[in-house]
Amino acid sequence: MRASLLRTIVAATERAVTERETKVPLAGLRVDRAPRRPAHAFRAAFDGTSLRPRIIAECKRRSPSKGILREAYDPAAIAAAYEEAGAAAVSVLTEPAFFDGALEHLTAVRAAVTIPVLRKDFIVSRYQIAEARAAGADAVLLILAALSDEALIDLLQAAREFDLDTLVETHDRAEIARAVDAGAEIIGVNSRNLHTLKVDPNLARELAAAIPSTVIGIAESGIRDATAVSSLSAAGYRGVLIGEQFMTAPDPGAALRELLDGVPDGGAEDRSGAKGSPRATRPGGVQGTPPEI
């Protein structure tokens, strides 16, 4: 999305959050009644070694770049199909004005699946973290391009207080460094350029080496087939997030199953011993890019 559009969405989100908090203060969200989940279930889905690619399958009705993706949109049914097909987690768009999302969608998905659920939105306040927990989320997305370093650290802390994991979305080396410095444990690399809306299919692979081995890497955007999944797994990513490819398919669950069936066994292993990983290793065992010459 264009940087100006990002600012527009963030501004609209800030206004909407203020309105919601005025109507229902933080204390009224009744986080204590939220469906109980094991702490860090989202992170656990991508920890360790796995011979099966770990997919975060997304429920999203619309996007600013593509418009309506799915007219008949039933996120709970779609999520259940994803789980049956082998998804490691489900991402649910909850932003209403630009993506036709709603917190009610997340609540419905939480009731329909047992796998971890990620709230994908433009998170700018602690109130939204509490909303996510009250709706049953296991994790929230934090888009680094929309946050200052101070805001990122505050939201990471708020998520910890609510036992939620965080997927910190980045787009370049500088943002990855900021995320690492803030203490992010799961970093996503979104291959979609925020200025042009175009996807660079090579970006995630190019940036893989910038993610320390102690951090879980997730590749996002433009992942359309088993070959891409295998390549990203070999580069060291422990998971991939796929949305539009499934949302535009006649049967999203079947599309996920077909993709998983097409990935050779051994295509996804723990980054600490990933096959074919191009990462160099910094002193102290932290992987990263070799020095420039």
pTM, two decimals, is 0.88
Dihedral in degrees, nearest 10, Cα atoms 114, 105, 122, 45: 10
Span 11-23, pLDDT tens digits: 999 999 999 999 9
Q: What is the mean pLDDT of residues 202-227?
A: 95
pLDDT at 195: 66
Q: Are 235 and 21 in contact (CB under 8 A)?
A: no
Longest C-alpha distance within the chain, in Å? 57
> 123 or 287: whose pLDDT is higher?
123
Which alpha helices (DSSP H) does 45-172 contain, by range? 75-85, 96-99, 103-112, 126-135, 149-161
- At residue 146, does pLDDT exceed 70? yes
Catalytic residues: 58, 60, 120, 169, 190, 220-221
Report the distance separating Cα 9 and Cα 28, nearest Å. Answer: 26
pLDDT at 190: 96
Would the CA dihedral through 199, 201, 202, 208 be positive or negative?
Answer: positive
Span 245-263, pLDDT tens digits: 999 999 999 999 999 999 8
pLDDT at 243: 95
Q: Are 101 and 70 in contact (CB under 8 A)?
A: no
Return the DSSP state at 115: S
- At residue 278, does pLDDT exceed 60? no
Q: Are 279 and 287 in contact (CB under 8 A)?
A: yes
The mean of the pLDDT values for the chain is: 88
Instruction: List, in sequence order, every residue forming a beta bridge with 242; answer none if it has no partner.
Output: 57
Q: 44: pLDDT confidence band, cut at 50, 70 and 90?
A: very high
* C-alpha to C-alpha distances, 174 to 145, 159, 171, nearest whole angstrom: 11, 23, 8
- At residue 1, does pLDDT exceed 80? no
- At residue 208, does pLDDT exceed 60? yes
Q: 36: pLDDT confidence band, cut at 50, 70 and 90?
A: low
